[in-house]
Structure 1
Amino acid sequence: MKPIVVGLLGITHPHASARVRALREIEGVEVVAAADDDPRLTYFTEKYGVEARTIDEVLQDDRIDAVMVHSKSKDMVPHALRALAAGKSVVVEKPGGGTVEDLLQLAQAEAQAEPGLVVQVGYNVRLARSIGQAKELIEAGVIGDVVSVSARGAALVGEHLTAHLNQPADMGGALWIIGCHMLDSLVHMFGAPDSVNARVHKSARLSDETSREDSAAVLLNYPDMSVTFSFDGHDRLEWFESSRISVYGTAGMIEIGILPQKLRVYVDQDRVGWKAGWTEWTESYFTPPFARTESNKFSELPELENISNFHPEMRGWVDSIRTGSPVVAPVADALAVAQIVDACYRSEKELGASIEVESA
């Protein structure tokens, strides 16, 4: 088993500590150092037992094989490029940058990287067991041919005020930074759409000009399938508790829950080991708080309580580094998500007109 030594470039993204904890449950993996010019670096390194270093010190350490990038969006790709140039595999926190141009640059860098280096983007909702099982059922034809999909995503009420959702260099706010999770899951399951129609709404009743969009209604257009995605930036349930995907086929349907993870499958007759009618699986009837304490709920270091989706994500990254297995969240999909979100904003400027999604 190849030992893997990991460092961090940036620690302010809420997912940084979750990935450290998930990696430390994998045999033969060490997380040894972190770099950031943020004053909270000391808190992070002391709490998670890593050494505080400069970016150059992390990149020049020949013992470090791989780097996790948890910086501000505008710095994600520059950090990733430096890590790849230093011969280190990377996982870049979602959405992989602040703009479509960032993701294009990351894709180019991946294509030019030396053999054996792995580039993964930090999308992990796609790795929920419920989504994975649903994808397998769809591909096996259990519900026949898919004809329509309805999806919902949300940001927690109050989150719209955070600096995290209002980074000046980002192309958007809550739809881009939070909505991207569900859009990535749709891309993972069905590929990228041909075009998008969208209305991205800002409501004076909900927020003022100091924050970005409040909601969005999106139509993803495929050759022979319609997909709708509704996004709300002021949900009062826990993160992802109200997020869901419903898939309608010619012979049945599937309802997918994210947190708690759940799956409801309906088939019109016995098929491929599934009995006619409803079959339901639920991981848990109670959603653990996503952040551990109320006081740090919206901080940039919330130290997430529920990290179930980070375990398969980090195992996938490590397996790709060790064995060359396929990347579980590839740059190509992250680029497709960026292009979809960009198309949503452009569609809104044209009052919901159809905007073609560029091919990744």
Structure 2
Amino acid sequence: MDILNTKFTFQDETHDDQKAPIKIAFLGTRHPHVKYRFAVLDKMGGFEFCGFHEEVEEIASELAKRLPRLPRFNTAEELLNTNPDVVMIHSLDPDVPRWARFAIDHPAPFKGLFLEKPGAADPADFYNLAEEIEAKRPGLAVELGYEIHYSEALEFARKVIRENVLGDITTARFHGGCPSGAGMDLWQSIPEDLGGIMQTEGCHTLENVIDLFGAPERVVSSIRKLPERPPHPVVGWIPDLFTGTVTTGEFGVGTLLYEDVCSGIMEYPDKTIVLDMTAWEPTEWCNEWAIDIYGTNGSLHVIPDFPVGTLYLREARGSFAAGETKLSTELPHGTSNVPSCYRKQFRSLFNRVRGTASADGCCDLQTNVKILKVIDAFYKSANLKQWIDV
């Protein structure tokens, strides 16, 4: 991604000149989403970039060249001494808790902390981190990097579920994954992690599940490496932080460090939800992610991006008419709107930092604790081949 020449724009962005700009520090820059988030902030405006610190010299030097307006600091201590309002951590999974602990132990009085998902290589490490943050920094606004939560399609789904228009919901299906080739990315292949797509991408899908229905009571799952197959052309993959998406090359099913597929059943007192993941989707990111919910009065079908939402009701309920209702999208149908997801997430976090909004409906610490407990249960179930209580 060419950070300084991104094509999207936010023409409706306005700022209150009476409010001081929010100061942002980037502590750790090894995850590729750091580039997207910088680009979105750059388009939004109204912020002051304190700078960044990255302990890998090659990455730090290259990032400093590409982002001359983002000062480089040689130590994390020096960076946090600038007294940022928000600290953003985009390290690899094993290092996110380490840098988060460094930040909360530093005397800088920041009010917001942004952590790249899933927040840790080991779920238990994040449970402990959440307790430490809440004890040492009570009231701190914390956001995990689940930008898809802010998709207009998910907003549509939340409205449908909150208005209880589907009747008695008996089952739902959630699908997620990554484009063919993307399972080879460094960020899907971290040796210290529990696994691959179920942890690194399944966390997004489980955030949607928990957001709409809460955590399940118990799960059973299958997480598999499939038999090795001949290489085929990739959709796209990211070999390092700066090359960008590569659409050439071939990889084969069964050659990943971790799983190719995952499937699971989540039991609730009144419904059953199934989840499936693949590292070999034939299309671009999120285009195949799907939510299908079935009730006695209707059904809901949602794709996060390119955003699609289709509701069918037998009889009118809530604010929805009988028959078919389609989501009216912000951009022309068939257009990705991921930058808007990032922007809405920032607005949510920054409003909490300014004290003008509550934590309701955001991706906070305890939401991530629930997500990681389900992920942990999925891997334990697959290993033990039995049901696991969450």
Q: Same fold (TM over 0.5)?
A: yes
SS of the equivalent of 1:7 reads strand
Q: Do the aligned partners of residues 139 and 188 (structure 1) sit closer, same or farther apart at CA in structure 2, a change above 3 Å counting?
A: same
Q: Cα deviation per residue 1:44-74 (whole Å; 9 max; x = unaligned)?
A: 2333320111212112222x12110000111
Asked if the contact 1:77–1:105 (Cα under 8 Å) also holds between the matched residues in 2, the reply is no
Q: Tell me if 1:18 matches 2:41.
A: no
Aligned equivalent of 1:35: 53
Q: CA deviation at 1:146?
A: 2.0
81, 92, 96: which one pairs with 2:101?
81
Specify the SS of the correspondent of 1:203.
coil
Contact 1:130/1:263 (8 A) holds in 2? yes
* CA shift for structure 1 position 28: 3.5
Which residue number in structure 2 is paired with residue 174 of structure 1? Answer: 197
Q: 1:153 aligns with which of 172, 176, 182?
A: 176
Question: Which residue among 377, 383, 390 is the counterpart of 1:343?
Answer: 377
Q: CA deviation at 1:274?
A: 2.1
Q: Which residue of 2 aligns with 1:47?
A: 66
1:229-271 per-residue CA deviation (whole Å, 9 max, x = no partner) reads 1101111100110001011122111111111111101110122
Cα distance between partner residues in 2 of 1:320 and 1:57:
26
User: What code does the residue aligned with 1:51 have?
Assistant: P
Q: 1:2, 1:105 → 2: CA distance?
A: 34
Name the residue aligned to 1:59: 80
Q: Distance in 2 between matches of 1:35 and 1:332?
A: 27
1:286 Cα deviation (Å)? 2.9
Q: TM-score under structure 2 normalisation? A: 0.82
Of 107, 112, 117, which residue of structure 1 is paired with 2:140?
117
Give the corresponding residue for 2:388: 355
Is the 1:174–1:233 Cα contact (8 Å) retained in structure 2? yes
Q: 5 Å matches for 1:227-238?
A: 227-238=273-284
In the alignment, the residues of structure 2 paired with residue 113 and residue 28 of structure 1 have an alpha-carbon distance, to the nearest angstrom, of 29
Q: Is the 1:238–1:287 contact (alpha carbons within 8 Å) kept by the matching residues of 2?
A: no
Q: Which residue of 1 aligns with 2:294?
A: 248
Alpha carbons of structure 1 residues 193 and 20: separation in structure 2 relative to 1, 3 Å? same
Letter of the 2:59 counterpart: R
Where do residues 157-236 of structure 1 align in structure 2 (5 Å cutoff)? 157-206=180-229, 207-208=253-254, 211-236=257-282
Count how many residue pairs are aligned between Structure 1 and Structure 2. Answer: 339
Matches within 5 A, 1:123-134: 123-134=146-157
Which residue identity is paired with 1:128? Answer: S
Please give the residue correspondences for 1:299-338 in structure 2 after superposition, counting only pairs within 5 Å.
306-323=338-355, 325-327=357-359, 328-338=362-372
Whole-Å Cα distance in 2 between the matches of residues 167 and 14 of structure 1? 14
SS of the residue corresponding to residue 234 of structure 1 reads: strand
Q: Secondary structure at the match of 1:51?
A: coil
Structure-2 separation of matches of 1:155 and 1:222: 27
Q: 1:102 aligns with which of 125, 134, 153?
A: 125
CA offsets per residue over residues 183-236 of structure 1, 9 Å max, x none?
111111111111111001111225456510000111111111110011011111
Distance 1:33 1:229 in 2: 40
Q: Within 2, Cα distance between the matches of 1:210 and 1:264?
A: 35
Report what 1:286 is aligned to: 334
Distance 1:190 1:36 in 2: 38
- The amino acid across from 1:33 in the alignment is G
- Matched residue of 2:223: which SS? strand
2:167 counterpart of 1:139: no
Does the 8 Å CA contact 1:7/1:58 hold for their aligned counterparts? yes
Which of these residues, 70, 88, 91, is aligned with residue 68 of structure 1? 88
Q: Deviations over 1:262-287 (max 9, x none)?
A: 11011101222322111112534435
Pairwise CA distance, 1:324: 5.7
Extract unaligned runs of 5+ from structure 2. 1-18, 230-252
Whether the 8 Å contact between 1:84 and 1:117 is mirrored in structure 2 is no
TM-score, normalization by structure 1: 0.89
Residue 217 and residue 116 in structure 1: after superposition, are their counterparts in 2 closer, same or farther (change >3 A)? Answer: closer
Aligned partners of 1:282 and 1:229: how far apart in 2?
A: 27
Q: Deviations over 1:19-40 (max 9, x none)?
A: 2222334453222301112212
Letter in 2 for 1:315: R
Residue 234 of structure 2 corresponds to: none
Closer/same/farther in 2, CA of residues 190 and 265 from structure 1, 3 Å limit: same
> Aligned-pair distance for 1:341?
1.1
Give the Cα separation in 1 of the matches to 2:54 and 2:23: 18
Instruction: Provide the alpha-carbon RMSD of the alignment.
Output: 1.8
The one-letter amino acid of 1:177's match is: T
